[in-house]
Protein backbone atom coordinates (compact mmCIF):
# COMPACT_ATOMS: atom_id res chain seq x y z
CA UNK A 1 0.00 0.00 0.00
CA UNK A 2 1.13 3.54 -0.61
CA UNK A 3 -1.53 5.72 0.99
CA UNK A 4 -0.32 9.04 2.37
CA UNK A 5 -3.69 10.62 3.17
CA UNK A 6 -6.81 9.19 4.72
CA UNK A 7 -8.84 11.47 2.46
CA UNK A 8 -7.32 9.56 -0.45
CA UNK A 9 -8.74 6.28 0.84
CA UNK A 10 -12.12 7.88 1.53
CA UNK A 11 -12.26 9.45 -1.93
CA UNK A 12 -11.39 6.15 -3.58
CA UNK A 13 -14.06 4.48 -1.46
CA UNK A 14 -16.70 6.91 -2.73
CA UNK A 15 -15.52 6.73 -6.33
CA UNK A 16 -15.47 2.93 -6.49
CA UNK A 17 -18.51 2.55 -4.22
CA UNK A 18 -16.52 0.26 -1.95
CA UNK A 19 -16.09 0.42 1.84
CA UNK A 20 -12.78 1.89 2.97
CA UNK A 21 -11.59 -1.46 4.28
CA UNK A 22 -11.99 -3.03 0.84
CA UNK A 23 -10.03 -0.22 -0.81
CA UNK A 24 -7.20 -1.10 1.58
CA UNK A 25 -7.59 -4.83 0.91
CA UNK A 26 -7.50 -4.31 -2.86
CA UNK A 27 -4.33 -2.23 -2.55
CA UNK A 28 -2.78 -5.03 -0.48
CA UNK A 29 -3.74 -7.59 -3.12
CA UNK A 30 -2.13 -5.53 -5.90
CA UNK A 31 1.02 -4.93 -3.88
CA UNK A 32 1.47 -8.58 -2.94
CA UNK A 33 0.10 -10.07 -6.16
CA UNK A 34 -2.48 -12.16 -4.32
CA UNK A 35 -6.24 -12.71 -4.44
CA UNK A 36 -8.75 -11.24 -2.01
CA UNK A 37 -9.20 -14.71 -0.54
CA UNK A 38 -5.46 -15.09 0.06
CA UNK A 39 -5.27 -11.63 1.59
CA UNK A 40 -8.19 -12.41 3.87
CA UNK A 41 -6.52 -15.62 5.03
CA UNK A 42 -3.38 -13.68 5.96
CA UNK A 43 -5.45 -11.20 7.94
CA UNK A 44 -7.22 -14.06 9.69
CA UNK A 45 -3.81 -15.37 10.77
CA UNK A 46 -3.12 -11.99 12.38
CA UNK A 47 -6.48 -12.05 14.17
CA UNK A 48 -5.82 -15.60 15.37
CA UNK A 49 -2.43 -14.49 16.73
CA UNK A 50 -4.16 -11.76 18.71
CA UNK A 51 -6.68 -14.24 20.09
CA UNK A 52 -3.92 -16.69 20.97
CA UNK A 53 -1.87 -14.06 22.79
CA UNK A 54 -4.93 -13.07 24.82
CA UNK A 55 -5.99 -16.64 25.59
CA UNK A 56 -2.53 -17.86 26.58
CA UNK A 57 -1.72 -15.08 29.05
CA UNK A 58 0.04 -16.48 32.13
CA UNK A 59 -0.12 -14.35 35.26
CA UNK A 60 2.78 -16.29 36.79
CA UNK A 61 5.23 -15.13 34.14
CA UNK A 62 7.41 -12.10 34.77
CA UNK A 63 9.71 -10.23 32.44
CA UNK A 64 13.47 -10.62 32.96
CA UNK A 65 13.58 -7.12 34.44
CA UNK A 66 10.90 -8.00 36.98
CA UNK A 67 8.95 -4.87 36.05
CA UNK A 68 6.16 -6.62 34.14
CA UNK A 69 3.91 -9.54 34.92
CA UNK A 70 0.77 -10.29 36.93
CA UNK A 71 -1.03 -6.97 36.55
CA UNK A 72 -3.41 -8.36 33.96
CA UNK A 73 -4.59 -10.91 36.51
CA UNK A 74 -5.10 -8.14 39.07
CA UNK A 75 -7.34 -6.29 36.64
CA UNK A 76 -9.27 -9.48 35.85
CA UNK A 77 -9.85 -10.16 39.55
CA UNK A 78 -10.99 -6.60 40.16
CA UNK A 79 -13.35 -6.77 37.20
CA UNK A 80 -14.95 -9.90 38.63
CA UNK A 81 -15.86 -8.04 41.81
CA UNK A 82 -18.36 -6.03 39.80
CA UNK A 83 -17.51 -2.77 41.53
CA UNK A 84 -15.64 -1.03 38.69
CA UNK A 85 -16.63 2.56 37.97
CA UNK A 86 -16.66 1.83 34.23
CA UNK A 87 -18.83 -0.61 32.30
CA UNK A 88 -18.07 -4.15 31.18
CA UNK A 89 -16.66 -3.13 27.79
CA UNK A 90 -14.04 -0.73 29.17
CA UNK A 91 -13.21 -3.09 32.05
CA UNK A 92 -12.56 -5.99 29.68
CA UNK A 93 -10.65 -3.80 27.27
CA UNK A 94 -8.32 -2.54 30.03
CA UNK A 95 -7.68 -6.12 31.15
CA UNK A 96 -6.84 -7.33 27.65
CA UNK A 97 -4.58 -4.34 26.93
CA UNK A 98 -2.48 -4.96 30.04
CA UNK A 99 -2.33 -8.70 29.42
CA UNK A 100 -1.18 -8.22 25.83
CA UNK A 101 1.54 -5.79 26.87
CA UNK A 102 2.75 -8.11 29.61
CA UNK A 103 2.82 -11.09 27.28
CA UNK A 104 5.03 -9.09 24.93
CA UNK A 105 7.40 -8.14 27.77
CA UNK A 106 7.51 -11.74 29.00
CA UNK A 107 8.73 -13.00 25.62
CA UNK A 108 5.54 -14.74 24.65
CA UNK A 109 3.73 -14.16 21.36
CA UNK A 110 4.39 -10.59 20.19
CA UNK A 111 1.56 -9.00 18.23
CA UNK A 112 2.94 -5.75 16.83
CA UNK A 113 -0.08 -3.57 16.18
CA UNK A 114 1.51 -1.47 14.82
CA UNK A 115 4.51 -1.85 17.17
CA UNK A 116 5.44 -4.14 20.06
CA UNK A 117 5.30 -1.26 22.54
CA UNK A 118 1.73 -0.49 21.47
CA UNK A 119 0.73 -4.12 20.93
CA UNK A 120 -2.17 -4.11 23.39
CA UNK A 121 -4.42 -1.35 22.09
CA UNK A 122 -5.91 -2.73 18.86
CA UNK A 123 -6.22 -6.36 20.04
CA UNK A 124 -7.85 -5.24 23.29
CA UNK A 125 -10.41 -3.05 21.55
CA UNK A 126 -11.27 -5.48 18.75
CA UNK A 127 -11.28 -8.68 20.80
CA UNK A 128 -13.43 -7.04 23.45
CA UNK A 129 -15.82 -5.86 20.76
CA UNK A 130 -15.94 -9.32 19.20
CA UNK A 131 -16.75 -10.92 22.55
CA UNK A 132 -19.16 -8.41 24.05
CA UNK A 133 -21.03 -7.50 20.86
CA UNK A 134 -20.94 -11.03 19.40
CA UNK A 135 -19.58 -9.53 16.18
CA UNK A 136 -18.99 -11.97 13.30
CA UNK A 137 -15.38 -12.71 12.46
CA UNK A 138 -15.74 -11.21 8.99
CA UNK A 139 -16.56 -7.78 10.48
CA UNK A 140 -13.52 -7.90 12.75
CA UNK A 141 -11.34 -8.79 9.77
CA UNK A 142 -12.77 -5.87 7.83
CA UNK A 143 -12.00 -3.60 10.77
CA UNK A 144 -8.41 -4.87 10.77
CA UNK A 145 -8.01 -3.87 7.13
CA UNK A 146 -9.19 -0.42 8.08
CA UNK A 147 -6.62 -0.24 10.89
CA UNK A 148 -3.96 -1.25 8.37
CA UNK A 149 -4.93 1.59 6.04
CA UNK A 150 -4.93 4.14 8.86
CA UNK A 151 -1.58 2.81 10.07
CA UNK A 152 -0.12 3.09 6.59
CA UNK A 153 -1.03 6.77 6.41
CA UNK A 154 0.33 7.41 9.90
CA UNK A 155 3.61 5.69 9.04
CA UNK A 156 3.97 7.57 5.76
CA UNK A 157 2.89 11.04 6.86
CA UNK A 158 3.96 11.06 10.53
CA UNK A 159 5.51 8.07 12.34
CA UNK A 160 4.63 4.94 14.27
CA UNK A 161 8.02 4.69 16.01
CA UNK A 162 8.66 6.06 19.49
CA UNK A 163 12.30 6.65 18.63
CA UNK A 164 11.20 8.96 15.84
CA UNK A 165 8.02 10.60 17.08
CA UNK A 166 7.64 9.89 20.79
CA UNK A 167 4.92 7.74 22.33
CA UNK A 168 2.29 9.75 20.45
CA UNK A 169 3.60 7.86 17.43
CA UNK A 170 3.22 4.45 19.11
CA UNK A 171 0.30 4.45 21.55
CA UNK A 172 -1.20 7.41 19.71
CA UNK A 173 -1.10 5.66 16.35
CA UNK A 174 -2.48 2.42 17.75
CA UNK A 175 -5.31 4.26 19.51
CA UNK A 176 -6.19 6.18 16.34
CA UNK A 177 -6.24 2.97 14.32
CA UNK A 178 -8.50 1.34 16.92
CA UNK A 179 -10.80 4.38 17.01
CA UNK A 180 -11.36 4.18 13.26
CA UNK A 181 -11.99 0.44 13.41
CA UNK A 182 -14.42 0.75 16.30
CA UNK A 183 -16.36 3.48 14.53
CA UNK A 184 -16.66 1.27 11.44
CA UNK A 185 -17.88 -1.64 13.56
CA UNK A 186 -20.50 0.61 15.14
CA UNK A 187 -21.84 1.51 11.71
CA UNK A 188 -20.15 4.86 11.26
CA UNK A 189 -19.73 6.20 7.74
CA UNK A 190 -16.43 7.33 6.21
CA UNK A 191 -16.79 10.82 7.63
CA UNK A 192 -17.35 9.53 11.15
CA UNK A 193 -14.36 7.19 10.85
CA UNK A 194 -12.05 10.04 9.86
CA UNK A 195 -13.34 12.28 12.65
CA UNK A 196 -12.78 9.49 15.19
CA UNK A 197 -9.16 9.12 14.05
CA UNK A 198 -8.62 12.88 14.23
CA UNK A 199 -10.21 13.25 17.66
CA UNK A 200 -8.15 10.37 19.02
CA UNK A 201 -4.81 11.70 17.75
CA UNK A 202 -5.58 15.19 19.04
CA UNK A 203 -6.05 13.81 22.55
CA UNK A 204 -2.58 12.29 22.68
CA UNK A 205 -0.39 14.76 20.76
CA UNK A 206 3.02 15.37 22.30
CA UNK A 207 3.20 12.22 24.45
CA UNK A 208 6.85 11.43 25.09
CA UNK A 209 8.61 8.09 24.95
CA UNK A 210 10.55 7.68 28.21
CA UNK A 211 10.94 3.95 28.94
CA UNK A 212 12.55 3.02 32.24
CA UNK A 213 15.73 1.03 31.71
CA UNK A 214 15.24 1.29 27.95
CA UNK A 215 12.57 -1.44 28.03
CA UNK A 216 9.04 -1.15 26.64
CA UNK A 217 7.56 -2.07 30.01
CA UNK A 218 7.28 1.02 32.25
CA UNK A 219 5.24 3.09 31.49
CA UNK A 220 4.45 1.47 28.13
CA UNK A 221 2.27 -1.45 29.19
CA UNK A 222 -0.22 0.63 31.18
CA UNK A 223 -0.30 3.23 28.44
CA UNK A 224 -1.82 0.56 26.19
CA UNK A 225 -4.87 0.54 28.46
CA UNK A 226 -5.15 4.33 28.37
CA UNK A 227 -4.74 4.24 24.59
CA UNK A 228 -7.65 1.83 24.32
CA UNK A 229 -9.84 4.12 26.41
CA UNK A 230 -8.88 7.06 24.17
CA UNK A 231 -9.97 5.04 21.14
CA UNK A 232 -13.35 4.24 22.69
CA UNK A 233 -13.96 7.88 23.69
CA UNK A 234 -12.99 9.16 20.23
CA UNK A 235 -15.32 6.68 18.53
CA UNK A 236 -18.12 7.53 20.95
CA UNK A 237 -17.80 11.23 20.17
CA UNK A 238 -17.67 10.63 16.42
CA UNK A 239 -20.72 8.36 16.49
CA UNK A 240 -22.56 11.08 18.42
CA UNK A 241 -21.88 13.44 15.54
CA UNK A 242 -19.03 15.36 17.16
CA UNK A 243 -16.52 16.50 14.54
CA UNK A 244 -12.87 17.44 14.66
CA UNK A 245 -12.46 21.09 13.72
CA UNK A 246 -9.10 20.20 12.18
CA UNK A 247 -9.26 17.73 9.24
CA UNK A 248 -7.72 14.36 9.99
CA UNK A 249 -4.84 14.60 7.53
CA UNK A 250 -3.86 17.99 8.94
CA UNK A 251 -3.93 16.46 12.41
CA UNK A 252 -1.63 13.66 11.22
CA UNK A 253 0.74 16.19 9.63
CA UNK A 254 0.80 18.12 12.92
CA UNK A 255 1.60 14.88 14.74
CA UNK A 256 4.58 14.38 12.44
CA UNK A 257 5.86 17.91 13.03
CA UNK A 258 5.45 17.61 16.79
CA UNK A 259 7.32 14.30 16.73
CA UNK A 260 10.28 15.93 15.00
CA UNK A 261 10.24 18.77 17.53
CA UNK A 262 10.29 16.49 20.58
CA UNK A 263 13.86 16.47 21.95
CA UNK A 264 15.85 13.29 21.38
CA UNK A 265 16.07 12.80 25.15
CA UNK A 266 12.30 12.16 25.13
CA UNK A 267 12.24 9.80 22.16
CA UNK A 268 13.01 6.31 23.51
CA UNK A 269 16.58 7.15 24.53
CA UNK A 270 15.84 6.88 28.25
CA UNK A 271 17.64 10.16 28.87
CA UNK A 272 14.74 12.09 30.43
CA UNK A 273 11.24 11.82 31.82
CA UNK A 274 10.29 8.81 33.91
CA UNK A 275 13.52 7.08 32.90
CA UNK A 276 15.60 9.61 34.86
CA UNK A 277 13.55 9.73 38.05
CA UNK A 278 15.47 8.41 41.10
CA UNK A 279 13.49 5.17 40.95
CA UNK A 280 13.91 4.89 37.20
CA UNK A 281 17.66 5.37 37.42
CA UNK A 282 17.83 2.82 40.23
CA UNK A 283 16.02 0.24 38.11
CA UNK A 284 18.33 0.95 35.15
CA UNK A 285 21.41 0.51 37.36
CA UNK A 286 20.04 -2.76 38.72
CA UNK A 287 19.44 -4.04 35.19
CA UNK A 288 23.03 -3.26 34.22
| Global pTM value | 0.97
Nearest to 194 by CA among 210, 204, 179: 179
List Cβ neighbours of 80 (8 Å cut-off, separation of 6 or more): none
Question: Which residues does residue 267 pair with via DSSP β-bridges, in sequence order?
Answer: 209
* Residues 85, 87, 90: CA angle, nearest 5 degrees: 100
Cα(151)–Cα(206) distance, integer angstroms: 18
9: pLDDT strictly greater than 80: yes
Confidence (pLDDT) at 1: 63
The Cα-based distances of 275 to 116, 134, 261 in angstroms read 19, 41, 20
List Cβ neighbours of 109 (8 Å cut-off, separation of 6 or more): 49, 52, 53, 56, 103
Band of pLDDT at residue 107, cut at 50, 70 and 90: confident
Cα(107)–Cα(99) distance, integer angstroms: 12
170: pLDDT strictly greater than 90: yes
Domain spans in the chain, listed from the N-terminal domain onward: 6-287
Confidence (pLDDT) at 286: 93
pLDDT in tens, 217-270: 999 999 999 999 999 999 999 999 999 999 999 999 999 999 999 999 999 999
Specify whether domain 6-287 bears CATH 1.10.4100: yes
Question: Which residues does residue 27 pair with via DSSP β-bridges, in sequence order?
Answer: none
Pick the range with the lowest mean pLDDT from 100-114, 194-208, 249-263, 274-288.
100-114
pLDDT in tens, 208-230: 999 999 999 999 999 999 999 99
Amino acid sequence: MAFRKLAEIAEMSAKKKLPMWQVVQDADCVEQGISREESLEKMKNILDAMREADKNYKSSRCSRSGMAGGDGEKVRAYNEQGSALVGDFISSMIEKAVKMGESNACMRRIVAAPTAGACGVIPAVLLTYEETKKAPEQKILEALYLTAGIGEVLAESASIAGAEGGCQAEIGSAAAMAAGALTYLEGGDNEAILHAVALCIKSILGLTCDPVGGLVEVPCIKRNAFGGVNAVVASHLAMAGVKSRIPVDEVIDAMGRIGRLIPACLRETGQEGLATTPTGLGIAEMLL
